[in-house]
Amino acid sequence: MATERTLSIIKPDATNRNLTGKINAKFEDAGLRIVAQKRIKLSMEQAGKFYEVHAARPFYGELCEFMASAPVVVQVLEGEGAIAKNREVMGATNPKDAAAGTIRAEFALSVGENSVHGSDAPETAAQEIAFFFSGLELVG
Ligand code: ADP
């Protein structure tokens, strides 16, 4: 399997509860390398643009307000099959369905406030990494 990069976001519910280190440990224990990382506060406009693909969904407004409500940690994870591996470590969208030991099973508060975002395919990973990071910030 090829080495990939994927975009991860530690969401406001997790930064509010001081869970950044515990979540990063889950990534690193799974063999994912954090090759770029920064803590930022999204505006409503930036959150809306990032989640544009969900604009027609009933929870879009709520999702954007949540993502802009407190700082997030955006990061690039690298490793063998990193996109799928990260989705595995994250667990299902709804923490009620997430497998034991996954980030969402352990930390998520609800289907909306579910602690982490992870890209779902190579094309979206490339787009999402470029949304937050310049080439100069990706040092490997
Ligand atoms: P994932 O983040 O697992 O890829 P989706 O792409 O389906 O999931 O949804 C994006 C985000 O939108 C979710 O992580 C969650 O924060 C929010 N979301 C999804 N479904 C709901 C819902 N039914 N109610 C509220 N928020 C939701």
pLDDT per position as a tens digit, 47-81: 999 999 999 999 999 999 999 999 999 999 999 99
Q: What is the mean pLDDT of the chain?
A: 98
> What pLDDT sits at residue 58?
98
Per-residue pLDDT tens over the stretch 83-115: 999 999 999 999 999 999 999 999 999 999 999
- Which atom of ligand 1 is closest in space to residue 117's alpha carbon? 2
pLDDT above 90 for 1 = no
In a mutational test of the pocket of ligand 1, which residue from 111, 120, 124 has the highest number of ligand atoms less than 8 Å from its CB?
111
> What pLDDT sits at residue 140?
84
Q: Is 96 in the pocket of ligand 1 (CB under 6 A)?
A: no
pLDDT above 90 for 122 = yes
Look up residue 2 and give its amino acid.
Answer: A
Can you say whether the dihedral through the CA atoms of 94, 127, 7, 12 is positive or negative?
A: negative
> What pLDDT sits at residue 4?
98
> What pLDDT sits at residue 82?
98
In a mutational test of the pocket of ligand 1, which residue from 83, 88, 93, 116 has the highest number of ligand atoms less than 8 Å from its CB?
93
Average pLDDT of the segment spanning 7-35: 98
Tell me the CA–centroid distance for residue 136 and ligand 1, in Å: 31
The pairing of beta strand 72-80 with beta strand 3-10:
antiparallel
Tell me the CA–centroid distance for residue 60 and ligand 1, in Å: 9
Tell me the CA–centroid distance for residue 139 and ligand 1, in Å: 30
Tell me the CA–centroid distance for residue 125 and ligand 1, in Å: 17
CA distances from 19 to 25, 93, 107, 112, 115 (A): 10, 18, 8, 17, 9
> What pLDDT sits at residue 7?
98
